[in-house]
Amino acid sequence: MLTVYLLLLLVVPSNLTVVGLGSYGRPSMLWGLVLLGWWVLWRLQGGVMHSARHHQWTRIAMSLLVMVILVSFAHAMLRGQPADQISPALSALVRTASWSGVLLVAMDGLGGVDDVVRLVRRLVVLTGLVAALGLAQFLTQRPMLSWTALLPGFEAGADDFASRGVFARAVGTATHPLEFAAVVVGMLPMAVAAATTGGFRGGRPPRIRWWIPAAVAVVVALVSVSRSAIIGLVVAILASMPGMPVRARRIMGVSAVLAAAGVAVAVPGMASTVIGLFSGASEDPSTVSRTAALERVPEFLSASPLLGAGFGTFLPRYYIFDNQWALTLVELGVTGAVALAGVFAAAGWSAVVAARGLDPTGASVARAAAACLLTLAVLYAFFDALGFPMPAGLLFLVAGVCAALYRMSTPPGGSRRSDVDMNLHVRDST
């Protein structure tokens, strides 16, 4: 079920929706609702996963975020809203339900480390395919997705395949270059971990094929003509380093330098363009807009500092923040921003703690998941990530994986149950 979600999220272009459903018709969002319904039925039947842990902090953090979103929605509706803001607010509630379904099924449905490893391998492969498509778009200067408009039962919205300077800004199957960068760079730590462990196969020598997704992701980030992607790439590599063997760290560092040099030589003008992105950042319209947006946050927040304007009600006609943290502060107030940060923090902390109580394979996945969350947290500061299906869906999927690994891990002084025992318990409880 989670693999189907990954396919709908990453393989099906983000601008495709079911005819007649509009913003409610994204296949990945609809499947997330199926997952939520499945989880609810499982719990109504008495399903409870065994855990040696007393508290599941990611579940608590997600519950608080959902609670804040619901209270903020009620507060916004009671104040009264323009007619064109009600539908986006309702759509935001549906998206929240879909994200909750993904997180809960990943948290409670993955029975053992072997299940997590299989899912993560598929995530790495699909991310590599999306990155490869983006590289092909960069090389051919074409989106290569026009055929999707002919699919029966679907309608294609607009995408943002554009150029910066003389270079095309790839989007892969996303609708915007920043959404594409969040997928490729945000999941890079997982791809690196798979490469250094031979596909999370403990005790086996690394295989070249698992280096391909990581290598393609690094190259795509370097040719993305995006400051956000370059910053995210640096964060992803640094976040991956602590969980890698010493030899792998050296290989990764040297490979990254060689990749940057290779791109500079193979693509004339790319080096000067990327350098110009940072040297001229103070005069770049997007940077100026982001800076001005932060200055206006207190103005928009003053009407309701605790609960904000309401999730999904702050439309682009008011202002475009290009910063999910600032937008969350305006839409959900201080409580919402703290709750969203709490999801990142709780899931990341769970993964770090889980790494101490798992076997080497599970520990490597846990550390990589924590690095992915850190990278996504940084990338969320560069665009309204929750408004795009891919970075939002990946956040809650990875958070669910972190929570599942935390449940499977052994507290200090405890004894770890094997994956076989875990799966038997799942069948018994079902």
User: Which residues, at least 6 apart from 365, have a Cβ–Cβ distance to it below 8 Å?
Assistant: 113, 116, 117, 120, 190, 193, 200, 401, 405
pLDDT (average), residues 348-360: 92
pLDDT band at 421 (very low <50, low <70, confident <90, very high): very low
The secondary element (H helix, E strand) that includes residue 92 is helix 83-109
Q: Is the dihedral of CA 201, 207, 211, 212 positive or negative?
A: negative
- Number of helices (H), then strands (E), in the chain: 16, 4
The tens digit of pLDDT for each residue in 88-116 reads: 889 999 999 999 999 999 999 998 899 99
- For the ranges 220-234, 239-253, 365-379, the maximum mean pLDDT occurs at 365-379
pLDDT of res. 125: 94
> Residue 412, class by beta-carbon neighbours within 10 Å (0-12 exposed, 13-18 middle, 19+ buried)?
exposed
pLDDT at 275: 63
Over residues 247-269, mean pLDDT: 71
Query: Are 113 and 421 within 8 A, CB to CB?
Result: no
At 389-411, the pLDDT tens digits run 999 999 999 999 999 999 988 77
Paired sense of beta strands 154-156 and 16-18, if any: antiparallel
How wide is the angle at C-alpha 163 spanned by C-alphas 161 and 165, nearest 5°? Answer: 175
What count of other Cβ atoms lies within 10 Å of the Cβ of residue 106? Answer: 27
Question: pLDDT at position 170, please?
Answer: 81
> 74-78, 108-112, 222-226, 414-418: which has the minimum mean pLDDT?
414-418
According to the model, what pLDDT value does residue 108 have? 93
CB of 214 within 8 A of CB of 254?
A: no
Mean pLDDT across the chain: 84
Rounded distance between C-alpha atoms, residue 5 and residue 102, angstroms: 8
Rounded to two decimals, the pTM is 0.89
What is the identity of the amino acid at 242?
P
pLDDT of residue 425: 45
Looking at residue 428, its pLDDT comes to 46
Q: In the predicted model, what is the mean pLDDT of residues 250-268?
A: 71
Residue 26 has pLDDT above 80, yes or no: yes
Dihedral angle sign, alpha carbons of residues 243, 249, 255, 256: positive
What is the model's pLDDT at position 427?
46
Check if the beta carbon of residue 74 is closer than 8 Å to that of residue 90.
no
Mean pLDDT of 108-130: 93
How far apart, in whole angstroms, are the C-alpha atoms of residue 232 and residue 220?
Answer: 12
pLDDT at 282: 60
Confidence of residue 292 (pLDDT cuts 50, 70, 90): confident
pLDDT band at 259 (very low <50, low <70, confident <90, very high): confident
Model confidence at 274, in pLDDT bands (50, 70, 90)?
low
- For residue range 196-209, list pLDDT tens digits in order: 888 887 656 667 78
High-pLDDT (> 90) share of the chain, %: 41
Q: Give the mean pLDDT of 82-86.
A: 83
pLDDT higher than threshold 60 for residue 416: no
Q: In this predicted model, what pLDDT tens digit does every residue of 156-187 receive, in sequence order?
A: 776 656 655 556 778 888 888 889 989 999 99
The pLDDT of residue 278 is 62
Averaged over 419-426, what is the pLDDT? Answer: 46
Q: What pLDDT does 164 receive?
A: 59
- pLDDT value at residue 332: 93
pLDDT mean over 29-35: 96
* Highest averaged pLDDT of the listed ranges 14-18, 79-83, 113-117, 247-251: 113-117
